Chain A
Amino acid sequence: MYKAQNELQSRNLKSLVFMAAVALVFSCLSVRLLYLQHVRYEENLQSSDENRLRRIVLKAERGLIYDRNGTLLVGNRPSYQIVIKPAEIRKMKPDVKDSLFKRLIHLKDSQGESVFDSAVVDTMFQRSAWKSHGTLRILEDASVEQVSIVEERSFEFPGVTTVVESRRSYPYGTLAAHLLGYTGEISDEQLERPEYAGYSSGDRVGQKGLEQQYDGEFRGEDGVKYVQVDAYGREVGKIEGMQNVPSVPGYGMVTTIDLDIQKAAEEALPDSVRGAVVAIDPRTGEILAMVSSPRLDPNIFSLKRRERNKGWAKVALDSTRPLMNRAVAGVYPPASVFKLVTSGAGLEHKLVTGQTHLPKPCTGGFTFGARYQKCWGTHGNLDLVNALRLSCDVYYYQLGLMLGMERINEFGNRFGLGHKLGVDIPGEKAGWLPDSVSFNARNKRNGWRWARGLILNLSIGQGQLVTPLQEAVLAGSIATGKGVYRPHLMKELRDVDGNVVGRYIPEKIFEGNMSESTHRTLLAGMDSVVNHPGGTGKRAALPGIRVGGKSGSGEWKKGEKTHAWFVSVAPLYDPEIAVAVIQEAQGGGGSKSAPVCRKVMEAYFAKKYPKDSTEVKE
């Protein structure tokens, strides 16, 4: 019995030891529970919410671009992206995943071409191991055939799906491409700039042209939607108490461009010719047409990467630089068009009148010091108006020497030469009007010094740099005499319902002031260029409409044909449209570019006076 007693005590002790161990372990577990559920409660709750809540960005529809009459110039198109869902791929067993991969890369379309690029699919499969939600794109901008192949056999491709994105489409292709610009993924360099503060990597933003200038307006506001998702990334419901924000589509823009005039200008300037056409309304600065040649097709930038890169390489490496918008970023010597400025300066300073003859008649050239400077013809003794008509260089050599560059440039500055005009597309150049100071400053490096003889060339427009836009503005504002208005492309911004939310208010940027007699004389000169016998711009004339203009043939390289300039304004005494045309290395301005001006004018007036109007505007 004693033994039993002893044994019982020992059993009791042992079971006590056992239960003490249980109590100890359970206490440790409780402490751990308290740690997880009390001390780290907030973090764990947050992680659990992050697990189940998904913030889905609702991309705003980009605003559309119209011409001034409401014709669509830039639209949006659906673009199909074939994607994989990493959450589903990751959960697959290795053999299932392998066979899915093999099926994908061996998928062929009706031409027997692989639908997917195996390198891309491989990369995305690898990346799926590290991405917990969202999608990974394995085929960008898929064709309808490719989408239907994948969708028809979707049961063979678990975890593969199609998503639709909105991409830009340019229904007229190359038409007005330079001023419209294009969209592309935001670059790292852009992301660092302050004006792109609200953007994130992968966003498509406007590059060049209006798309870039007004990106903020076109972009709209992305919305957000909060959804509850399960571990496979499937949406399983809405979240109560979380405010969803719908996306706000971007503003549409009505531009100042007139599609018919733009088309006429595009047709008049062949793609094989490098050059530009600008047509503006000088009364307000509205740009009616703007062409830069050679052209590019902005649609290539919405294509899939492979084709985009191909197209990009083609335009980027082209020696004719099709990416440059020559209308605002191309700088050329203004050549004889500049004689309008030299004349204007002479008239303003009362050194000459329209009827003044200068001492030396044109004998085919002019002797200055030891130099003999040629004229392009032999014009005899001319007054100012006829010197403009025939574009006689000798007359302007003398007038230029009488004036000096400071006074000539001052007159040019009144009309915006040498200044950026602030047109609402990026990349505009200011050009350059040299005088002794700026010439020396610019040529410090190569040691050239200002000499008075340089005035000869500069007074006929050889040596300055101007843009086609500046030339159109110059001609237009000289003709109106009512100041220089900032050239612009935006006319109205409208919201998605068509309500006008912003209107461009014409802005006078230079007074363009001159005396009444100067104005009259310059108009007479421009009139005579086009409408008087022997005028260099007779090819710009239109029946029934008084057109004024000025030609220019810019020398840029010995032995090459000249750059062909022509500016014209119509109706000359109540101007509505001013056109500037340059064609690089095409010869004489009067013979080559005046017809281009005429065609643009024709398009404008055909619209204004339909069905062969008998009304004559003088």
Chain B
Amino acid sequence: MRGSGRFLNNTMKIDWLFLVLVFALTSIGITLVYSATVNTEPIWYTSRWFKQIIYFGGGCLLAAAFAFVRIDYWQRFAFPLYFLTIAALAFVAFGGGDSAKGAGRWIDFGFLKIQPSEFAKITFLLAMSKWLSGHRVNILKPKTFVMPALIFIVPFALVLKQPDLSTALVFTAVTMVGLYWAGLSLLDLFLLVSPVASVILSYPQIPYSQVLWGLLLCVVFLALLFRKMPRKFIILILSLNIICGYASTMAWNSLEHHQRERVMTFVDPMRDPRGAGYQVIQSEVAIGSGGIFGKGFGEGSQTNLAFLPEEHTDFIFSVLGEQFGFFGCVFVLFLYFMFLWRAMSICRLHLDPFVNHVVSGACTIFFFHMMVNVSMTLGLMPVTGLPLPFLSYGGSFMLTCMMLVGLLVNMRYQGSQLESNYD
């Protein structure tokens, strides 16, 4: 079965619709980058839209390379790659990087600037998948959480130190979904994150925060009973919740006025319409003024006249909304849904837990970016620096996305290799 025959066999397993979706989304992205920057960059070969095409070309090569690497190599090199990335992250976090834009996130090789946190998303995914595919977790056995927690906490802390909260949250999302695939029920996950919910709900600026927190505690308690948890777990989780809630309130009260202002402005940018809120307001205006059908390609005054800062990177969705309206936005969301659906369907083809973890984790990375970015442009979430997959301008992120696409293609057509290992 080895040789050309297998190759043919496997090409049949390539999901062409999936690749068409990737190509369509990237084309839309390049078009939007073009319309957002054409006014300021008249020379085509130095312009951003052209660079984006180059990045995409590079990304395709990288994706192809990723697709051909045998899955057992990915498994074997998951941890070495992971440690390499940790080293790079540590290098950046402890002052070795280039502090462009204030935060040290880049390693400059002269000819190439690399953002280790982007590649960390992949190596972290591989390492976590490798571990979880071999070890089941059980909420009643806390020892099973030790390794996943370690794998998670190190890059999380290093990225948080940069500071890059949004990427740190990507790790969190991947870990949550990984734990779900590794055997935790939704209820277990809820209990696991309930202390974090306590921290947020007891935030004194939320109206009726004490009532809400009380309700949360009741729900947690009922969930614990329903799950028939041993008493020591009930006490442990409840007390964790209570401690976290009070710690949150105390921390808030100990903050200086300007620190509180900063927190509140982060959560609600509209408090500072000329500073943090400016982008959000302009983004909402851009999207809203597009109406149902949009102003037409190249007709966006918000975009063309630079009222929207960062329009070609984090706020590319606003460019879409202004020029192509509600239908354009929903169409792109539909493409994203199809993309995730095709990717997720790999889980139904192959039983192998590593494949499953990588696929679900990759989908989580994509979905988390889409959700956070679009919510931000619509004024539903704080402004964080997460770009929109395939649409936003940016080399590192484009490469990350294409590597993930390569991995997904790989998982789909090589997944059956590992089938025999299972069962």
- Interface on A for B, CB 8 Å cutoff? 1, 3-4, 7-8, 11-12, 14-15, 17-19, 22-23, 25-26, 28-30, 32-34, 36-38, 40-41, 43-45, 47-49, 51-52, 90, 129-130, 228-232, 236
Contact = CB atoms under 8 A, between A and B. Distances in A.
A15 B360 contact: yes
Interface stretch (B3-11, B67-75, B81-89, B333-341): B333-341
Contacts of B347: 11-12, 14-15
Closest 7 CB pairs of A and B: A44-B288, A48-B289, A230-B305, A36-B288, A231-B306, A52-B301, A45-B289
B145 interface: no
Contacts of B371: 25, 29
Given A37-B287, A47-B288, A49-B301, 19 more contacts: A7-B351, A14-B180, A15-B360, A18-B363, A19-B340, A22-B367, A29-B333, A29-B378, A33-B321, A36-B287, A37-B288, A38-B291, A44-B285, A44-B289, A45-B289, A45-B291, A47-B289, A52-B301, A130-B274
Nearest to A17: B186
Contact of A228 (B301, B309, B341, B360): B301
B325 interface: yes
Interface of B is mostly: helix
8 contacts: A32-B378, A33-B287, A33-B330, A44-B285, A45-B288, A48-B289, A48-B302, A48-B307
A4 B351 contact: yes
Contacts of A14: 180-181, 347, 360
A207 to B, nearest CB: 37
A3 B351 CA distance: 11
Contact of A51 (B301, B345, B367): B301
B351 A44 contact: no
Interface residues of B, number: 50
Contacts of A7: 351
Contacts of A37: 287-288, 290-292, 321, 325-326, 329
B31 to A, nearest CB: 19
> Which of A37, A38, A229, A236 has the most chain B CB within a 10 Å cutoff?
A37
Interface in B13-34: none
Contacts of A44: 284-285, 287-289
Contacts of B286: 48
Contacts of B287: 33, 36-37, 44
Given A8-B351, A48-B286, A51-B285, A231 B305 contact: yes
B136 to A, nearest CB: 12
B325 to A, nearest CB: 6
A12 B336 CA distance: 20
B256 interface: no
Contacts of A4: 351, 422-423
Contact of A15 (B306, B348, B351, B380): B348
Contacts of A23: 337
B84 to A, nearest CB: 30
B344 A15 contact: yes
Interface string B192-211: 00000000000000000000
A7 B302 CA distance: 51
Nearest to B371: A25
Contacts of B177: 18
A36 B340 contact: no
B356 interface: yes
Interface in B261-311: 274, 282, 284-292, 301-302, 304-307, 309
B348 A12 contact: yes
B307 A52 contact: yes
B375 interface: yes
B291 A129 contact: no
Contacts, number: 132
> Which of A26, A36, A230, A232 has the most chain B CB within a 10 Å cutoff?
A36
A308 to B, nearest CB: 34
A11 B302 contact: no
B362 to A, nearest CB: 12
Interface in B370-389: 371, 374-375, 378, 380
A4 to B, nearest CB: 5
A36 B285 CA distance: 8
B333 A51 contact: no
A240 to B, nearest CB: 12
B301 A36 contact: no
B345 A15 contact: yes
A41 B344 contact: no
B326 A38 contact: yes
Nearest to A38: B292
A33 B318 CA distance: 11
Contacts of B285: 44, 47-48, 51
B378 A33 contact: yes
A37 B292 CA distance: 6
Contacts of A17: 186
A38 B305 CA distance: 23
Nearest to A44: B288
Interface string B47-69: 00000000000000000000000
A11 B337 contact: no
A439 to B, nearest CB: 68
B344 A18 contact: yes
A452 B288 CA distance: 88
A51 B302 CA distance: 8
Nearest to A3: B423
> Which of A3, A32, A40 has the most chain B CB within a 10 Å cutoff?
A32
Nearest to A132: B274
A612 B330 CA distance: 97
A3 B423 CA distance: 8
Given A34-B326, A129-B274, A26 B337 contact: yes
A134 to B, nearest CB: 16
A4 B347 CA distance: 13
Contacts of A36: 284, 287-288, 321, 378
Contacts of A47: 285, 288-289
Contacts of A228: 301, 305
B291 A41 contact: yes
Contacts of B274: 90, 129-130
A542 to B, nearest CB: 74
Contacts of B380: 28-29, 32
Contacts of A26: 333, 336-337
A29 B375 contact: yes
A550 B12 CA distance: 124
Contacts of B356: 11
B319 to A, nearest CB: 13
Given A3-B423, A37-B287, A19 B344 contact: yes
A129 B186 CA distance: 49
Contact of B360 (A8, A18, A25, A38): A18
Contacts of B364: 18
A36 B280 CA distance: 13
Nearest to B359: A15
A18 B346 CA distance: 13
Contact of A41 (B186, B289, B306, B340): B289
A29 B334 CA distance: 12
